[in-house]
Amino acid sequence: MSDERTEQAPRQETNWIDRLIKFVSQGSRTGIMPPADITGATLVLVVAAMCYLACLALGAMITVTSSASDWTAQLEGALTIQVKPQNDITLEDQIGAALSVLDGTTGVAQAQALSNEDVRALLDPWLGESQDSEDLPLPSLIDVQLEPGAIIDMARLAERLAAAAPGIELDTHRQWLGELLSAARSATWLSIGILVLIALTTGAIVVFATQASLAANHETVEVLHLVGAQDEFVANEIQRHFFQLGLRGGASGLGAAVITFVLISWLGSEGGAFLLPVPGLTLSDYPWLLTVPTAIALTTTAAARITVLRVLRRMI
């Protein structure tokens, strides 16, 4: 036996990096807590489900936010002029009158009348590619691109266009865009609400799971306590155990969510799977999903630590 006394104090960690290295490196040693039990397996499953739902909510929020941003960027720099056929004037004259008004308007970069084929193509996603649309009395459309940052009095422009020829209407997309952005904002807040709810639920589940695990491993905790382990030591062992469970569950949930998003992107790009085009997540969006298992693993760790310290303080 060694002649040294064992009561020497544990080495002092000099800073948080040392603490982190110690925390991670000890993960490779045999854990003092049992590696897996029924509580642990259930917790991994629950954390995986929570992480999956949270990833879906976050992914939906990212998709909606980036789509709303794209729509805003696309529509804020564009106008559409609808030219409805009239009996007392030819379509060509109506279009010519509208183009000449636009020509004299400051801030208009380009104005171009769409061909009948282009107009019908716009209806294809809604009516299909059948030839029936050829018989429909479709208006002509003029696509107007604005100069970046152009400030145009839309009401005045609408008046001038209406005065130039009958049947000309200005569509600024503002009302549609406003409703769309309002819906996008609601969806974003809903996603945030779901994320908060999931975080709170996960925290509550982990607290219960930790208490159950502590009850199941009461013998281990008590023996550690009686051989002189500080509360901090026991708490570190247990939080490491729960951090690993949290990471395993989080990684499983993340994997399932990534597969789901890839499938959504693939089905969305195939077309026809959804009523509206679904852009899905871009490659640069995926790293954001990593925040979910990280946050869940940290929530799990914090909940376990707080619970175990509370239990230990009840012991002498």
SS3 content of the chain, % helix, strand, coil (to 5): 70, 5, 25
CA distance 54 to 292: 7
CB of residue 214 vs other proteins: minimum separation in angstroms?
15
Beta bridge partners of 142: 81, 113
Cα-based distances in Å from 238 to 30, 170, 203, 303: 13, 67, 16, 11
Nearer to other proteins, 8 or 106 (CB): 8
Both tokens of 236, joined, read 């570190």
Nearer to other proteins, 18 or 222 (CB): 222
Nearer to other proteins, 76 or 231 (CB): 231
Q: At which residue do the structure tokens 């549609």 appear?
A: 176
Nearer to other proteins, 6 or 284 (CB): 6
CB of residue 229 vs other proteins: minimum separation in angstroms?
5
Cα-based distances in Å from 58 to 51, 151, 214, 281: 10, 36, 33, 11
Kindly list the residues in this chain that would bind other proteins in the complex (CB under 8 A): 1-11, 30, 32, 34-35, 219-220, 222-231, 233, 313, 316
Nearer to other proteins, 52 or 237 (CB): 237
Task: Work out the end-to-end distance of the chain between its first and last CA atoms, rounded to an integer number of angstroms.
Answer: 31
CB of residue 13 vs other proteins: minimum separation in angstroms?
11
CB of residue 204 vs other proteins: minimum separation in angstroms?
28
CB of residue 223 vs other proteins: minimum separation in angstroms?
5
* Helix or strand holding residue 141 (H, E): strand 140-146
CB of residue 226 vs other proteins: minimum separation in angstroms?
6
Using an 8 Å Cβ cutoff, are 216 and 39 in contact? yes
Residues in Cβ contact with 97 at an 8 Å cutoff, skipping those fewer than 6 apart: 164, 165, 168
Nearer to other proteins, 208 or 233 (CB): 233
Nearer to other proteins, 10 or 272 (CB): 10
Cα-based distances in Å from 12 to 19, 90, 143, 173: 9, 90, 71, 65
CB of residue 287 vs other proteins: minimum separation in angstroms?
37
Residues in Cβ contact with 296 at an 8 Å cutoff, skipping those fewer than 6 apart: 47, 50, 51, 54, 199, 202, 246, 249, 250, 253
Nearest alpha carbon to residue 218 among 37, 26, 6 = 37
Nearer to other proteins, 199 or 229 (CB): 229
